[in-house]
Amino acid sequence: MNADDLPLLYNCVDILERNLAERADKTALLSLEREMTFGEVSAEANRCGNALRALGVRPGEYVGLLSLDCAEWVTTFFGIVKIGAAAIGMNTMSKPYDVEYIANDARPRVVVVHEALLASLDAIRENCPSIEHVVVIGTPQRDGDLAYASWIADSPSTCEGVATHREDICSLNYSSGTTGQPKGIPHAHKDYPLTAQLWGVNVLGLTDADRTFAGAKLFFTFGLGGNLIFPWYVGASVVLLAGSPRVATDVLGLIDRFKPTVLYNAPTGYAMAMAVPDFDTTYDLSSLRVCVSAGEALPAPIWEAWKARTGLTIVDGIGSTEIFHIFLSNRPEDCRPGSSGKPFDGYELRLVDDDGVEVPRGEVGNLLVRGETAALGYLHQYQRSRETFLGEWVFTGDKYTVDEDGYYWHAGRSDDMLKVGGIWTSPVEVESALISHEAVLECAVIGERDASDLVKPKAFVTLQAGFTGSDELSATLISHCVDKLATYKRPRWIEFVDELPKTATGKIQRFKLRLV
């Protein structure tokens, strides 16, 4: 499938509404708070669309959506896109200054906000002149703010949609980035069905018999695609969790209760689940048929341990907000633990050196990707757009090697790679060695300058319960690395910490450790 297979005028509300003819009464969405059929979601999305129009929202306009994962996130999202506007899926862990930056970058006139997150919007509203209306999912605190429930109550449940061009923008997501301001990444209506088909159906094999669940949230395109767009594209149901995915017992409890067949999580989600004592006997995970990991490389020891404890395969795939979702992936029936798998139809890959020349197989190169779901640029960021969107190719910032069987191995970010003794050392490789030691829960490796001002690997380590940091344990971990790696790659220092700095989407922020 490619973009030309879609009609020129295409609105991705189709992904919801395609289910109305055959399965309007099927459960579309489950959560602790609400359960809804496709018919009910569609009617409520229509009410939202009409209510947004009544506030003056026009096609092409951005509407802010700052909400925990709940039914209202979904109905608001489809209401926004149906009337031709574009949803800004805002990070629920945003600090007020992030919300302010985004609001002044995308300039939404309307922001729909969950009451649990109202404080971070209220703190900065006065600094955001574009915001005219705030709709609160829950109870408003200020005069003039609208309560979602009564706001939609008087709106009709049928809505005349806008026949958007398939290349009109329907969503904007801000990518956390390791440095600098977040970058707004606009995606078009066409990107939604395309990724659903290219990866959700062709690679993961989703069908209408599935029920998906994700630790990854809807504001993150990993969660949005995996746990809303792809399943609804095929008529499968989704399970939403309003709470934090970091509470592993909540994630496990929801699986036990709602019996999903597919689980998406960041690697840390699997590690945290396995850190819950007797997780595999306390919770019934037997409904799951396959698991997915993305966001950062999944270390082989986590893959192996999860397999041993649950019998389940974790499909690791690399995706990005720029491409919308996964563009290089293992397959449920063909996984090489520790690798990102192989290319699949719809995306082409190249590994090049810093001069853009293809590297020989086995050598580390910069990963470029070409595919029709790529964004065209970053909002208001001319220079950074030019550095990333190189004509048809997108510069991922990732280093990769390909093995003799064609599997791709992540070798860190171009900005995190270390030169040790003049040779590239991947922090990811050192981390994989460390994490295979029973004492290590999580770790991050960065470059630290030694007495000669030369960069050497340093590891920050959080320990599994029952272990305590000591010089002796440091020495044990270093010799463990020496067993696993070329000697020069071993960490020269180990610092035990209580936790590692992470982005809202669970990625370890090595750059913050560099400042320690």
Residues that bind ligand 3UK (CB under 6 A): 175, 221-222, 294-297, 316-321, 325-326, 340, 396-398, 410, 413, 505
DSSP collapsed to 3 states, 107-152: CCCEEEEEHHHHHHHHCCHHHCCCCCEEEEECCCCCCCCEEHHHHH
DSSP 364-379: -EEEEEEETT--S--T
Largest Cα span, the chain: 72
Q: Which is nearer to ligand 3UK, 148 or 409 (CB)?
A: 409
What is the closest distance, in whole angstroms, from the C-beta atom of residue 144 to ligand 3UK in the complex? Answer: 35
Quote the tokens at residue 13: 């509300």
What's the gap between Cα 18 and its chain centre? 25
Q: Which is nearer to ligand 3UK, 27 or 202 (CB)?
A: 202
Q: Which is nearer to ligand 3UK, 86 or 297 (CB)?
A: 297
What is the closest distance, in whole angstroms, from the C-beta atom of residue 251 to ligand 3UK in the complex? Answer: 18
Q: Which is nearer to ligand 3UK, 314 or 473 (CB)?
A: 314
Q: Which is nearer to ligand 3UK, 188 or 294 (CB)?
A: 294
User: Using an 8 Å Cβ cutoff, are 222 and 294 in contact?
Assistant: yes
Q: Which residue is nearest to ligand 3UK (CB)?
A: 319
Q: 3-state class of 78 per DSSP?
A: helix
Q: Which is nearer to ligand 3UK, 19 or 340 (CB)?
A: 340
User: Using an 8 Å Cβ cutoff, are 425 and 419 in contact?
Assistant: yes
What is the closest distance, in whole angstroms, from the C-beta atom of residue 222 to ligand 3UK in the complex? Answer: 4
DSSP 262-296: EEEE-HHHHHHHHTSTTHHHHS--TT--EEEE-SS
| C-alpha torsion sign, points 233, 239, 245, 249 | negative
196: nearest Cα among 361, 337, 373: 373
Produce one character per residue of 236-251: b if its CB has 16 or more CB atoms within 10 Å, e if not.
bbbbbbbeebeebebb
What is the closest distance, in whole angstroms, from the C-beta atom of residue 316 to ligand 3UK in the complex? Answer: 5
What is the closest distance, in whole angstroms, from the C-beta atom of residue 412 to ligand 3UK in the complex? Answer: 8
Q: Which is nearer to ligand 3UK, 336 or 413 (CB)?
A: 413
212: nearest Cα among 233, 231, 195: 231
Question: Scanning the structure block, which residue is given the tokens 């985004």?
Answer: 102
Q: Which is nearer to ligand 3UK, 152 or 368 (CB)?
A: 368
User: Using an 8 Å Cβ cutoff, are 36 and 71 in contact?
Assistant: yes
Q: Which is nearer to ligand 3UK, 175 or 227 (CB)?
A: 175
What is the closest distance, in whole angstroms, from the C-beta atom of residue 74 to ligand 3UK in the complex? Answer: 18
Q: Which is nearer to ligand 3UK, 124 or 444 (CB)?
A: 444
DSSP 177-215: -SSSS-EEEEEETTHHHHHIIIIIITTT---TT-EEEES
Quote the tokens at residue 233: 């594209």
What is the closest distance, in whole angstroms, from the C-beta atom of residue 155 to ligand 3UK in the complex? Answer: 32
What is the closest distance, in whole angstroms, from the C-beta atom of residue 321 to ligand 3UK in the complex? Answer: 3
Q: Which is nearer to ligand 3UK, 155 or 321 (CB)?
A: 321
What is the closest distance, in whole angstroms, from the C-beta atom of residue 503 to ligand 3UK in the complex? Answer: 8
What is the closest distance, in whole angstroms, from the C-beta atom of residue 296 to ligand 3UK in the complex? Answer: 5
Which whole-number Å values give the CA distances from 335 to 292, 304, 307, in the listed order? Answer: 11, 11, 12
Count Cα neighbours of 414 within 13 Å in the Cβ-side half-sphere. Answer: 14
What is the closest distance, in whole angstroms, from the C-beta atom of residue 373 to ligand 3UK in the complex? Answer: 11
